[in-house]
Amino acid sequence: MLSLLMYLVLCAVSDTAFGERELKLVTVLYRHGDRSALRAYPKDPYKETAWPQGFGQLSLEGMRQHFELGKMLRKRYRGYLSETYNHNEIFVRSSDRDRTLMSAQVNLAGLYPPDQSHAFDPTIKWQPIPVHTVPSKNEMLLVFPLHDCPRYTALMNETMDTDIYHNMTETYKTFLEMVANETGLGNVTVRTVWKVQDTLFCELKHNMTLPKWVTSEVMEKLGILSDFSLRILFGVYKREQKCRLQGGLLLDQILKNMSAVAKLDSKEQLRMIVYSAHDTTVAALQEALNVFNGLQPPYASCHIFELFKEENGSFSVAMFYRNDSRKDPYQLTLPGCDLYCPLQDFITLTKSVIPVDWEKECQLDINVKEKDVIIGLAVWSSFLLLVVVFLSMLLCRQRDPANCCSRNMN
């Protein structure tokens, strides 16, 4: 009797999980799983050969993390997604990196375990599911920051001249000098120290013995600096301007996808869009949404958008973030809106970080350029005038030293 009661309760919870709302589209952005280090520092005892597949590659642990995430998504959206893979229901896009492509593939293995009708070999519990990508040189949605943007470069230069950046540099000056000396890098800044932190973090995660200078206190300070270097990429200073040139691009695409689904409102349509990317991608998107917690997104963390059709026919958006595999995703609130934010309000509230013409906005302000030209011409004109005056005085003295530069009287 107790078992039956528990079953009925679970069924009731399952049937009313989304209340009277109807789920219409799920968008998932996740970071790849655990990987090897991206690089070695000059004095690093572990070179690329120390890693089974070399630098920047998905590890076995990273594969397990994404298989588990795929199973979590299967459980969360059971009844919404078909039990078996249907190419009309899901679209997966990855950045063109081995670790993100492989993360997407193993994630799909957890999301869509094949049944007998889809098993091409009964001994293999896996089925091929397409993962789409574009060449890295053409990537505009999933790899941030985008560097081919003069205006963004100018904003970052301005950021490094702010009080908060100078204070961080001064506070950790001695520490950064120590890190530079111990690693053999010569120069380590607040903006570049994340590279050292990343290498040491990966080596520590993979049970490699670290040099004696790498204490728990050192790792803690490196973590603080690494998080700060991530925050300044998309926020801290002129956040909205940076977001228009970075994460706003991905947010714009996500909003367009949701708007298209809301407009069509068809029974036969895409149900899930998945993006496999990087920590900076998650940070860029969350900063554009103004919900970033300032901490590096962990491996296999994911940001979820759920588009619902309300009982009155309108549409709303809910967001969730999963940054701990031991816990369920927790709900995020877009500043200025409700947990279930009306789609049009969501679009309006994020309009300030959506670029209208990215290429045009990436160019430096034409007024600034004109001002620089005018100042430059003025400086050169003044210099030439001084040269002319000097030469005139010199010639005058040579011709009539007594009357040189005297005022003519009529």
Which residues are catalytically annotated?
32, 279
Tokens of 365: 């302000």
Token pair of 9 as six digits: 């309760």
Of 273, 300, 297, the closest CA to residue 283 belongs to 297
What residues have CB less than 8 Å from 55, skipping those under 6 apart? 36, 37, 38, 39, 40, 48
What does DSSP assign to residue 176?
Answer: H
The 8 Å CB, 24+ separation contacts for 353-361 are 353/240, 353/243, 353/244, 353/247, 353/248, 353/251, 353/288, 354/244, 354/248, 354/251, 354/252, 354/255, 355/244, 355/245, 355/248, 355/249, 355/252, 358/140, 358/244, 358/245, 358/249, 361/151, 361/244, 361/245
Concatenating the DSSP letter of every residue in 352-383 gives GGS-SSHHHHHSPPHHHHHHHHHHHHHHHHHH
Structure tokens at 400: 């009539």
Helix (H) or strand (E) holding 275: strand 272-277
Could you tell me the two tokens for 77?
A: 């959206």
- The rounded distance, in Å, linking the Cα atoms of 53 and 32 is 16
Contacts of residues 266-272 at CB distance under 8 Å and 24 or more positions apart, as own/partner, are 268/88, 269/24, 269/25, 269/88, 270/25, 270/88, 270/89, 270/90, 270/91, 271/25, 271/26, 271/80, 271/81, 271/89, 271/90, 272/25, 272/26, 272/27, 272/28, 272/77, 272/81, 272/89, 272/90, 272/91
Q: Where are the beta strands (DSSP E) in 32-123?
A: 90-94
Strand partners, 380: none
DSSP state of 116: G
Bridge partners of residue 93, in order along the sequence:
132, 275
